[in-house]
Amino acid sequence: MENRWIAYLIPPFIVTLLLVAGSQFVFIQNSFYQDLGLGRTGTDLTLVNYLKFFTDSFYLKTFWITIKVSAIAALLTLFLGFPIAYVVARMKSKLAMFLLAGIVVSTFVTIVIKVFGLIIIFSADGVINKTLLNLGLIERAYSIIGTQEGVVVGLMHFTIGFSVLLLYSVVVTVPPSLEYAAQIHGASRLRVYQRVIIPLCAPGFVVGGLMIFNMCMGAFTSAALLGGGRVLTLPVLVQRTVMMEVKYSTAASIAFVLLVSVILINLFSLIAIRRLRSARLVVA
C-alpha cells in the first residue's frame, strides 16, 4: 500500500531533479575550471577557485558574517515568532483565522516592498529615530543601513511570517489538555512552559530554526538593500561577482560553498541534537 503511494512521488521527483539538480550541476561543474574573466574559463579541471576562497581572508570573513547574521536572525525570529504562534494556536475565536490569513498575506508581500518599508521607518526622519530623539535616548539619528544589525533586522522581517506559520503548526500538535493537567497538579504558568510546552515543541524549534537559517543564508534582497554595499554576505557577493566582474566560475564556487555549508550545518545540527536527546534519555 505504502509503495503504491510512493510511486506518485516519482514524477515530481524527476521534474525537480531535472530543473534544480540539472541546472545546479552545470553551474557547479563550471566552478571547477579556472576563471579567466568575462565568462571565459580554462579547459583543465582545477580547485583554484576553492583554494582562493579558503585562503583569502575577505572571502572567509564574508562567509563568517553570512553565518553569523543568519544564525542571529534565525534565533531572534524564533524568539519573536513563538509567542505569536502560541497565542494564535490557542485562540478559540474566529480571529485566529483572520490573524493567520494576515500572516500568510504579509509573508507573500514582495521582500523589496518590505525592506523599503523598513528603510522608511528607520530613516533619519522616520518614526523610530524621531521617537528616540524626542525621548532624548539618542543624540543623533541612527541609520540601520550599512550595518550588520540592519541586515539582521531585514532577515528577521523576511522570515518572521514563515516562522509564525511553522511554529503554529507545531503548537497545534500539543494538546491543551497536557497544559491543563500540569496546572491542575500545581505547576505555575512559567513551569508549564518550561516543562511541557517548550520540550514538546523542541523538535519543531530545531527544524523551524534550521529552515529559517537556511532562508537567511540564501537571502539576497534584504542583505543587499540593508547592507548598503558595506555589509557583504555570500549571496550578495555571488551577484556582484557575476554582474560586475562577469566571473561565472568564481561565482559558482562561492555558491557551491554556500550550498554545501548549509547542508553540512543542517546535518551537524540534527546529529548533535539527536545525540543530545539520546544522552538526556539515558540520564533520565
As measured in angstroms, the least distance from the Cβ of 11 to other proteins is 30
| Binding segment toward other proteins, per CB under 8 A, in 6-14, 26-34, 57-65, 186-194 | 57-65
As measured in angstroms, the least distance from the Cβ of 126 to other proteins is 7
| Binding segment toward other proteins, per CB under 8 A, in 18-26, 117-125, 170-178, 196-204 | 117-125
User: What span, in angstroms and rounded, lies between the C-alpha atoms of 159 and 222?
Assistant: 11
User: What kind and span of H or E run contains 45?
Assistant: strand 40-45
Binding of other proteins by 277 (CB under 8 A): no
As measured in angstroms, the least distance from the Cβ of 65 to other proteins is 6
3-state secondary structure of 33: strand
As measured in angstroms, the least distance from the Cβ of 243 to other proteins is 5
Helix (H), strand (E), coil (C) string for 122-170: CCCCCHHHHHHHHCCCCCCCCCCCCCHHHHHHHHHHHHHHHHHHHHHHH
| Binding segment toward other proteins, per CB under 8 A, in 105-113, 140-148, 185-193, 209-217 | 140-148
- Cα angle 34, 62, 220 (rounded to 5 degrees) comes to 90
As measured in angstroms, the least distance from the Cβ of 248 to other proteins is 8
CA dist list (Å): 149 to 222, 224, 228: 12, 13, 12
Quote the DSSP letter at residue 187.
-
Instruction: Please tell me the count of residues contacting other proteins according to CB under 8 A.
Output: 32
As measured in angstroms, the least distance from the Cβ of 228 to other proteins is 4
User: Looking at beta carbons only, is 215 or 232 nearer to other proteins?
Assistant: 232
Do residues 213 and 70 touch, judged by C-beta distance below 8 A?
yes
Do residues 45 and 33 touch, judged by C-beta distance below 8 A?
yes
Quote the DSSP letter at residue 44.
E
As measured in angstroms, the least distance from the Cβ of 132 to other proteins is 14
Do residues 220 and 151 touch, judged by C-beta distance below 8 A?
no
User: Looking at beta carbons only, is 81 or 227 nearer to other proteins?
Assistant: 227
As measured in angstroms, the least distance from the Cβ of 40 to other proteins is 8
Binding of other proteins by 44 (CB under 8 A): no
User: Looking at beta carbons only, is 22 or 146 nearer to other proteins?
Assistant: 146
Do residues 145 and 226 touch, judged by C-beta distance below 8 A?
yes
User: Looking at beta carbons only, is 10 or 38 nearer to other proteins?
Assistant: 38
Say which residue the cell 531535472 belongs to.
18
Nearest Cα to 258, choosing from 225, 236, 243, 229? 236
Binding of other proteins by 58 (CB under 8 A): yes
Binding of other proteins by 133 (CB under 8 A): no
Binding of other proteins by 221 (CB under 8 A): no
> Which member of 34, 68, 75, 126 binds other proteins (CB under 8 A)?
126
Q: Which residues bind other proteins (CB under 8 A)?
A: 37-39, 57-58, 61-62, 65, 120, 123-126, 141, 143, 145-148, 224, 228-232, 240, 242-246, 248
